[in-house]
């Protein structure tokens, strides 16, 4: 039985828990309701039963945004026992012929490896990496406040980011590079947006993540899996008097306990289903018009050894973008945007054992991958993903011990926010990065007093950063409880 709380949070993903932690630290009684048996949303790590003791990350696995997030920086994940392990290669892009683009954590080493296009990579990424705080302020802010990067002293990084987005988000994207390796390396990161290429939103994604690859902790993997971040948030919440109630499905308003404020770490679709006619009519129409993107189909593998990548140094990377050349990836994403399954889909893969030996059991290890597919796809993409990896790692099939696919249409069974397999909880377009989830000045408000959205469907959008929850919680504290934002320091 769930008791009365001052704040109820629906959904226990990183944003929901971030909102809960912020409110609990302000001295409020907080209850988090989670439909699944375990907390964490897309940041859970579970034993899928593929091999004894092997655990897999359900969705997110690699976390550049976690260390760069102002919320997590103040909370101090390390002080909460989260060990972020940084591969020496942030991401890699294998190409046909045994070649690859390698984004080393070390910018100089990356530049050297890219040959004639090295200086062009430095001119694009060097300033962004140097001023990564300004880039984060622009890209990961609430899209309503003036970010520090636009204030005196921060302009170089913010301006460089804006100009680079205009370049790499339009047909001018090929003018900078003379070869094919550097553009492929950058395009693999842009593909995280699951959108047509080039596009402004994909370019923003690529440049933010690309800058973080050469700064701070790079693209780290938490020891033990993404669950470590969730466990740290939950422990902090409980230490400040909050609680998480699992197996509690919120279908209607009757499933909500009494509270002064509600924060929904859900999509607008779920919010409308739960609250329905109690929302202001205009707000409801806007929320119902929110557009969801195309999907991802997940394939989890258990391997008997490392992936036999043909190109040197790919095996050093915790993240591999398996899509081929820039043209190959643009073609694959165009197919998905047109509602077709690409013959050679865009695949993103991660091997946590590159830095985390604790994930192995004997000679067995997990391997994480997903392919981009049309929204709602029911296709088992195991063979398509396996063939793409085999293309760049001959002999991959020989090390596969077990696998399972979760088609895009089934991802919402594990996380209701993934509508049709949309792991971004809303299409990543330039319009929806600002009008997310609707074109209003306060995007976290829902059209009903005391009720707020705090999911990836709100600014700054997808990623494990906790900022959507934090931004929404700040407004709850100010507008409902008239109390200051608390310190998040340990």
Q: What is the CATH number of the domain that holds 114?
A: 3.90.660
Same domain for 393 and 309?
yes
Task: Give yes or no for residue 256 having a pLDDT over 90.
Answer: yes
Looking at the 3D structure of the chain, how many domains does it have? 2
Q: What are the b/e assignments for 202-231, b being 16+ CB within 10 Å?
A: bbbbbbbbbbbbbbbbbbbbbbbbbbbbbb
pLDDT at 158: 74
Same domain for 199 and 240?
no
Same domain for 231 and 312?
no
Same domain for 247 and 114?
no
For 364, which DSSP code? B
Chain segment 351-374, per-residue pLDDT in tens? 999 999 999 999 999 999 999 999
Beta-bridged to residue 13, according to DSSP, are none
Measured in degrees and rounded to the nearest 5, phi and psi for residue 339 equal: 85, 15
pLDDT at 91: 98
Dist. CA 235–CA 117, nearest whole Å: 47
Query: Of all residues in the chain, what percent carry a pLDDT higher than 70?
Result: 97
Classify strands 451-453 and 261-264 as parallel, antiparallel or unpaired: parallel
pLDDT at 82: 98
Q: Which residues contact 327 (CB under 8 A, 6 or more apart)?
A: none
Dist. CA 13–CA 2, nearest whole Å: 19
Same domain for 204 and 318?
yes
Same domain for 201 and 274?
no
Same domain for 351 and 395?
yes
Chain segment 426-479, per-residue pLDDT in tens? 999 989 988 999 999 999 999 999 999 999 999 999 999 999 999 999 999 999
Same domain for 128 and 199?
yes
Q: Please report whether residue 418 resides in a domain.
A: no
**Confidence label for 151 from pLDDT (cuts 50, 70 and 90):** very low
**Confidence label for 337 from pLDDT (cuts 50, 70 and 90):** very high
Contact 161, 135 (CB under 8 A): yes
Q: Which of 379, 413, 447 is the last residue of a domain?
A: 413
Q: Please report whether residue 2 resides in a domain.
A: no
Q: Please report whether residue 488 resides in a domain.
A: no
Q: Please report whether residue 471 resides in a domain.
A: yes
Same domain for 179 and 302?
yes
Q: Which of 413, 436, 463 is the last residue of a domain?
A: 413
Q: Calculate the CA dihedral of residues 264, 269, 273, 277 and round it to 10 degrees.
A: 90
Mean per-residue pLDDT over the chain, rounded: 95
The mean pLDDT value for 54-60 works out to 97
**Confidence label for 416 from pLDDT (cuts 50, 70 and 90):** very high
pLDDT at 286: 97
What is the full DSSP assignment across 25-74? HTT--EEEE-SSSSS-GGG-EEE-SSSTT-EEESS----HHHHH-HHHHH
**For the chain, what's the residue count?**
490
Task: Give yes or no for residue 1 having a pLDDT over 60.
Answer: no
Same domain for 197 and 337?
yes
Q: Which domain holds residue 336?
A: 65-72+79-220+294-413
Dist. CA 311–CA 94, nearest whole Å: 7
Query: Of all residues in the chain, what percent carry a pLDDT higher than 90?
Result: 92
Contact 2, 248 (CB under 8 A): yes
How many C-beta neighbours within 10 Å does residue 253 have? 11
Same domain for 437 and 461?
yes
Contact 67, 463 (CB under 8 A): no
Contact 189, 79 (CB under 8 A): no
The mean pLDDT value for 16-23 works out to 98
First-last CA distance in the chain? 31
Q: Which of 390, 413, 436 is the last residue of a domain?
A: 413
Task: Give yes or no for residue 31 having a pLDDT over 70.
Answer: yes
pLDDT at 319: 98
Q: Please report whether residue 485 resides in a domain.
A: no
Chain segment 186-244, per-residue pLDDT in tens? 999 999 999 999 999 999 999 999 999 999 999 999 999 999 999 999 999 999 999 99
3-class state of residue 440 by DSSP = coil
Question: Is residue 78 exposed (0-12), middle (13-18) or buried (19+ Cβ within 10 Å)?
Answer: middle
Which CATH number do you get for residue 263? 3.50.50.60
Q: What are the b/e assignments for 409-445, b being 16+ CB within 10 Å?
A: bebbebbbbbbbbbbbbbbbbbebbebbbbeeeebbb
pLDDT at 148: 57
Angstrom distances, CA of residue 149 to CA of 69, 140, 141, 156: 15, 11, 10, 8
Q: Which residues contact 474 (CB under 8 A, 6 or more apart)?
A: 22, 485
pLDDT at 157: 64
Dist. CA 315–CA 354, nearest whole Å: 7
Long-range contacts of 112-116 (CB under 8 A, 24+ apart): 114/179, 114/181, 114/182, 114/185, 115/179, 115/181, 116/178, 116/179
Contact 377, 341 (CB under 8 A): yes
Same domain for 340 and 405?
yes
3-class state of residue 332 by DSSP = helix
Dist. CA 247–CA 39, nearest whole Å: 9
């Amino acid at each position: 039985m769930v008791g009365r709380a001052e704040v109820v949070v629906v959904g226990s993903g990183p944003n929901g828990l971030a909102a809960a932690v912020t409110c609990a630290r302000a001295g409020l009684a907080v209850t988090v309701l989670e439909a699944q048996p375990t907390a964490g949303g897309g940041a859970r790590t579970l034993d899928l039963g593929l091999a004894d003791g092997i655990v897999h990350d359900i969705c997110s696995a690699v976390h550049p945004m976690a260390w760069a997030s102002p919320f997590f920086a103040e909370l101090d994940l390390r002080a909460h026992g989260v060990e972020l392990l940084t591969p020496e290669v942030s991401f890699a892009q294998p190409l046909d012929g045994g070649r690859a683009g390698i984004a080393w954590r070390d910018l100089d080493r990356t530049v050297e490896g890219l040959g004639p296009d090295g200086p062009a990579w430095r001119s694009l990424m060097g300033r962004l990496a140097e001023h990564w705080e300004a880039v984060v302020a622009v890209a990961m802010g609430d899209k309503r406040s003036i970010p520090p990067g636009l204030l005196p002293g921060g302009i170089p990084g913010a301006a460089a980011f804006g100009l680079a987005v205009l370049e790499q988000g339009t047909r001018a994207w090929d003018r900078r590079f003379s070869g094919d390796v550097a553009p492929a390396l950058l395009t693999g990161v842009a593909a995280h947006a699951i959108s047509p290429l080039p596009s402004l939103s994909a370019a923003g994604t690529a440049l933010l993540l690309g800058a973080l690859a050469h700064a701070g902790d790079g693209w780290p993997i938490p020891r033990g899996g993404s669950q470590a971040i969730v466990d740290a948030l939950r422990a902090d919440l409980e230490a400040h008097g909050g609680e998480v109630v699992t197996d509690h499905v919120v279908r209607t308003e009757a499933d909500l306990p009494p509270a002064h404020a509600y924060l929904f770490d859900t999509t607008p679709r779920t919010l409308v289903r739960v609250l329905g006619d109690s929302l202001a009519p205009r707000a409801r129409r806007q929320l119902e018009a929110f557009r969801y993107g195309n999907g991802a189909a997940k394939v989890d593998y258990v391997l008997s050894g490392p992936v036999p990548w043909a190109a040197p140094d790919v095996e050093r990377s915790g993240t591999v973008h398996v899509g081929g050349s820039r043209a190959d990836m643009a073609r694959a994403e165009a197919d998905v945007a047109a509602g077709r399954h690409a013959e050679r889909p865009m695949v993103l893969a991660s091997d946590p054992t590159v830095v985390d030996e604790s994930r192995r059991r004997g000679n067995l290890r997990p391997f994480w991958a997903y392919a981009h597919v049309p929204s709602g796809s029911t296709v088992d993409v195991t063979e398509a993903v396996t063939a793409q990896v085999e293309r760049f790692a001959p002999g991959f099939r020989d090390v596969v011990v077990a696998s399972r696919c979760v088609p895009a249409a089934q991802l919402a069974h594990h996380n209701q926010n993934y509508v049709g397999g949309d792991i971004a909880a809303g299409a990543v377009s330039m319009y929806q990065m600002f009008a997310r989830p609707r074109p209003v000045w306060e995007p976290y408000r829902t059209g009903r007093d005391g009720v707020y959205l705090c999911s990836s469907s709100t600014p700054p959008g997808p990623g494990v950063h906790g900022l959507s929850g934090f931004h929404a919680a700040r407004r709850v504290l100010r507008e409902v409880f008239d109390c200051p934002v608390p310190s998040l320091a340990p």
